[in-house]
């Protein structure tokens, strides 16, 4: 009994964001605002006009970067805001 719970605790956990919640995020063309000018995932500066995704608390990411990020973890890389998560498999 005890051993089993230890094994479970040591298993790497992968918790994905719910795909429909990722799709529901706001995507827009980037315009320079001065405050968030680079992507926290790949650390590249945004180019004006690229597709960016804004999270509900105004953190901005490349669309491709945040989709990839949320495909392996369910919280915002900046503030750990929790997205709705799909069940671990
Ligand atoms: Zn990026
Ligand atoms: Zn955030």
Write out residues in the chain with pLDDT < 70, as ranges: 1-12, 88-89
Output the six-digit token pair for 40. 């926290």
Question: Residue 10 and residue 16: Cα distance in Å, rounded?
Answer: 18
List domains and CATH numbers for the chain: 13-89 (3.30.40.10)
Question: Residue 16 and residue 53: Cα distance in Å, rounded?
Answer: 17
- Segment 21-38, tens digit of pLDDT: 999 999 999 988 777 789
- The answer to whether 1 and 69 have CB atoms below 8 angstroms apart is no
Q: Give pTM, 2 decimals.
A: 0.78
The CA 68 to ligand 1 mean position distance, Å, reads 10
Q: What is the pLDDT of residue 89?
A: 56
Residues with CB under 5 A from ligand 2 (ion): 59, 76, 78-79, 81
The CA 75 to ligand 2 mean position distance, Å, reads 8
Q: What is the pLDDT of residue 30?
A: 94
């Amino acid at each position: 009994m005890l051993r089993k719970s230890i094994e479970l605790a040591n298993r790497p956990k992968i918790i994905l964001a719910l795909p429909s919640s990722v799709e529901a995020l706001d995507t827009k063309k980037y315009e320079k605002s001065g405050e968030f000018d680079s992507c926290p995932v790949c650390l590249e500066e945004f180019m004006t006009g690229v597709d960016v995704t804004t999270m509900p608390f105004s953190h901005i990411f490349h669309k491709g970067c945040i989709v990839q990020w949320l495909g392996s973890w369910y919280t915002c890389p900046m503030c750990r805001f929790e997205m709705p998560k799909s069940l671990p498999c």
